Amino acid sequence: MSMENYEIPRHVAIIMDGNGRWAKKRMMPRTYGHAQGSKTVEKICEDAYRMGIEYLTVYAFSTENWQRPKEEVDTLMNLLRDYMKDCIKTSKKNNMRVRIIGDITKLDTDLRESIKKLEEASSKNTGLKFQVALNYGGRDEILRAAKKFAEDYAAGVLPEFGAVGEADFENYLDTAGIPSPELLIRTSGEVRLSNYLLWQLAYAEFYFTDVLWPDFDKKELQKAIEYYNKRDRRFGGV
Ligand code: FPP
């Protein structure tokens, strides 16, 4: 499929759902599904960038995911640990800038250090801007932003209340400086937002597919963009 005549969204957000079911279908433990899902993440980053997507934001671990069985939480954290380390090399190779969004103060010290290293090492890269949502919740992000905002307001570094606009508040979100996504993709047939990017997705198109995350590939991404273009035309877009 050629994407030549399509309008490519600048920022795509993804809820990578269905790893557990993918593994179950193969009589394998859920953790195997997450490992496979992590490989899919790497491939999709490359495909997205080749298609002309500038920003990609994936939901890797939500503030609610701590409630999963300890073994599963540990596996996910270890996958993310490996990812942060390996990604120092990959981001150099493919010129990708990586940023973590979410409350990382709750993560283990070594993981936080790897995150810092990766963010610093990739900060000047000019290719895909890749955001990983880790211990992320939309409500939590807005609340943390409101607290920081209130602190700065009290310190007198903000305009008067009457003059404060959305852009002033956006600076306090984890996604400060990143344009809002035009397209949200959720895999595996669930039709929920699950506390993802509540502020940022206000005007996004939503695309839901039954495909399970480990099976999501370039073709599926193209289908989502095709859908986005149909919606865009209906509402008088380009
Ligand atoms: C949802 O599937 C997926 C997650 C909770 C975790 C997503 C994490 C990864 C894809 C791996 C690590 C990420 C990176 C960025 C390297 P589920 O377990 O809810 O599946 P189910 O609904 O079938 O049970």
For tokens 């069985």, the residue is 69
Ligand 1 atom closest to the Cα of residue 24 is: 23
The single-letter DSSP state of residue 65 is G
With CA atoms as reference, report the closest residue to 38 among 7, 60, 64, 14.
60
The span from the CA of 51 to the CA of 47, in Å, is 6
What is the pLDDT, as a whole number, of residue 238?
44
C-alpha 30 to ligand 1 mean position (Å)? 9
**Average pLDDT of the segment spanning 177-186:** 98
pLDDT digits (tens, 9 = 90+) for 119-175: 999 999 999 999 999 999 999 999 999 999 999 999 999 888 889 999 999 999 999
Contacts of 210 (CB under 8 A, 6+ apart): 187, 188, 189
For tokens 């279908």, the residue is 25
Beta strands in 156-209 (DSSP E): 183-186, 205-208
What is the DSSP secondary-structure string of 131-148? EEEEEE-HHHHHHHHHHH
3-state SS, residue 159: coil
Contacts of 27 (CB under 8 A, 6+ apart): none
Most informative mutation of 34, 42, 210 for ligand 1 (most atoms within 8 A of CB):
34
Ligand 1 atom closest to the Cα of residue 190 is: 22
Q: Across-strand partners of 27?
A: none
The single-letter DSSP state of residue 165 is -
Ligand 1 atom closest to the Cα of residue 37 is: 10
Cα dihedral 203→208→212→214 (10° resolution): -30
pLDDT digits (tens, 9 = 90+) for 53-111: 999 999 999 999 999 999 999 999 999 999 999 999 999 999 999 999 999 999 999 99
pLDDT bracket for residue 189 (50, 70, 90): very high
With CA atoms as reference, report the closest residue to 224 among 13, 37, 61.
13
What is the pLDDT, as a whole number, of residue 196?
98
Nearest CA to ligand 1 atom 8: 60
What is the pLDDT, as a whole number, of residue 235?
53
C-alpha 183 to ligand 1 mean position (Å)? 19
Other C-beta atoms lying within 10 Å of the C-beta of residue 130: 24
Nearest CA to ligand 1 atom 3: 17
Report the predicted TM-score, pTM, of the whole model to 2 decimal places. 0.95
Ligand 1, residues at Cβ distance < 6 Å: 16-21, 30, 34, 37-38, 41, 58, 60, 65, 76, 79-80, 83, 132, 188, 213
